[in-house]
Amino acid sequence: MLQIEQLSKRYGSKVILDRLNLYLKPGEIYGLLGPNGAGKTTTINLICGLLKADTGTVRIGGQPASGATKSLIGVMPQQNLLYQSLTCAENLGFFGRIYGLPRSLRRQRIAACLTAVNLLDRAKTPVEQLSGGMQRRLSLAVAIMHQPQLLILDEPTTGLDIEARREVWQLIRGLKQQGMTVLLTTHLLDEVEKLCQRIGIIKQGRLLAEGSLADLRQWLPAEEIVTVETPDGERAIAAGRTHGFTPRWYGSELTFWIPEKLELRELLDRFEGVRLDAISRQPVGLEHIYLEITQTAEQEDRG
C-alpha cells in the first residue's frame, strides 16, 4: 500500500532522512518508532506531499505520490485540528466539503464516522464540550471521513488517560479489520506492542531495524531482564559475566540479560558476595529492544 525507496531529505548540512526504505502491506498496522528529531514527522510530510524529497520515491497504492494520491490518505495529526465552536457533525461536514464529498454522501459519511468512533449521540455537541478522549476520537473520524486507503496516525493517544487510550486502540483495530492500512507513529511503546504487526525503529533519519516484535527480539537474546540496585556496580557486573549474564546500563540502571529463567534463589546465588539493595525481574519488552538497537547505533556512529 505504501512503498518508500531511498528517501532522503536535508536542510543545509543537516540530514533529516538518509535513504529511508519502508514498505507497508495492505491492511497492516505498522509502527514507526524513534526519538524526537528522528525523521518521523518529515516522513509523514513527504508522504502527504507537504515537502519535496531531495532523492527517492514514494508510492501510494502503486502510484507515485502526487496530487492524485492525496485522496487515498487520511491523517490524524498530533494536535486536534477541530473547530471548537462547531458541533461534531458540523466539523465532519466541513472537512467532508474540503474532501470534495457531495452533500448526500457527506450526510451518510457523517453518520457512519460518528458511529465508528462511538460519538453518534454527540453529533450536535460542540467540540469545546467534549473530553480530550472524545476529541481524539472525533479527529480520527475526520481522518476517515473520505474513506482513505492509508491512514496516518501521528501520536494518536498522547496525553490521554488509559481508558481513553484503550478506546482509541479498539477503534484502530476496527479500521484494520475493515482492510485499512495504518502507519502509526508514537512514543508509547506499549501502544506499538498491542497494535502493530510490524515495527520500524528510526534514528537520525536511518531505519535501524524492522520486523515483527518476534523478529526484533533477536536483537536481545535473553529469557528475562533483571535490574539490580547496588553500591558496587563493577563487582555485580563481574559476577554476572561469570554466569553468562550480559550487563547493560540504561541511564543509571544496571540491567542484565539473563539467558535462562532462574528461580529467585538461584538468581541471588549468582550474585553471592555482592551487596544488592534491590532486584527486579521482567520479561523482555520492546523498551529493552528499542534501547539496545538505538544505543548500538550510537556506539557504531562514534566508531
Which residue carries 526519538 as its cell?
35
- Res 277: pLDDT: 95
- Res 36: pLDDT: 83
Segment-wise mean pLDDT, segments of 10 residues, the chain, 303 residues: 94 92 94 89 91 93 86 91 96 94 94 94 96 93 94 89 89 91 91 94 93 91 93 95 93 92 93 94 90 82 66
Burial state string for 153-182 with b = 16 or more CB within 10 A and e = fewer than 16: bbbbbeebeeebbebbbebbeebbeeebbb
- Res 130: pLDDT: 95
- Res 206: pLDDT: 93
218: helix, coil or strand?
helix
CATH topology of domain 2-217: Rossmann fold (3.40.50)
pTM above 0.75, yes or no: yes
Element spanning 270, H or E: helix 264-270
Element spanning 81, H or E: none
- Res 295: pLDDT: 84
Residue 288: CB partners within 8 Å, gap ≥ 6?
220, 225, 250, 255
Q: Which three cell numbers stand for residue 222?
A: 535473553
Residue 234, Cβ density class (10 Å: 0-12 exposed, 13-18 middle, ≥19 buried): exposed
> Pseudo-torsion of CA 77, 82, 84, 86, nearest 10°?
-160
Query: Contact 27/176 with Cβ under 8 angstroms?
Result: yes
88-98 vs 103-116: helix axis angle to the nearest 10? 130
Query: Contact 112/133 with Cβ under 8 angstroms?
Result: no
Q: Write down the domain spans for the chain.
A: 2-217, 221-283
- Cα of first residue to Cα of last residue in the chain, in angstroms, is 37
- Res 299: pLDDT: 73
Residue 40: CB partners within 8 Å, gap ≥ 6?
32, 34, 154, 185, 202
CATH topology of domain 221-283: Alpha-Beta Plaits (3.30.70)
- What's the rounded Cα separation, in Å, for the pair 31 and 189? 9
Radius of gyration of the chain (CA): 23
Cross-strand pairs, 60: 2, 63
Query: Contact 204/38 with Cβ under 8 angstroms?
Result: yes
